[in-house]
Amino acid sequence: MSEFCQGGDLFDRLRIRDTFHEEEVAIVADQLLKAIKHSHLCGVVHRDLKLENIVFKKKQTNTNASITIEKDCSIVKIVDYGLAQFFKKGTNLSSKVGTPFYVAPEVLQGSYDERCDLWSIGIICYVLFCGYPPFYDDNHQKVFQMIVKNDLVFNKSDWERGSEEMKSFIKKLLIKNPHDRITVD
């Protein structure tokens, strides 16, 4: 049985709002990390975390209100496990799957594990805060090259309201080498 979530997805919410406040990004990140930790403990890697695959449980009554004001509308759920895969610790996956702007560099290189989901959460946090992905081009091959190169930039005008702690958190999720990336814990 599926749970009914009527609040729409993060992509739609971001289109309405343009950006999220740091506290709101933290609320979403906390829930995503807890959900992914549970998923990984069950031996499942999502492999396609993106704004469109994160939905709000309840509809927001005031579309201009921040999700921290309407806490009952800030509960998010991860959906669309269509590309998810069971995994065993110590065994790498090789299928190149996922959505271009969110895919981890190790997925593009064809040898990865569950830590690819943490990269995607880093991308999601980055996008929620500034309104655009850190690696962007109209050509997906160029996006893939940017991801593998991993020249992460925090544009000063878009990130001046962000704390050093948040930038550090995102940087630790977007470390190219998955063995050096922070864990869900």
Residues with a catalytic annotation lie at 48
- Return the closest-CA partner of residue 50 out of 144, 131, 122: 122
Q: How far apart are CA 152 and CA 181, in angstroms?
A: 14
Q: How far apart are CA 73 and CA 58, in angstroms?
A: 5
DSSP category for residue 3: P
Q: How far apart are CA 19 and CA 145, in angstroms?
A: 26
In 71-152, which ranges are E strands? 76-78, 85-86
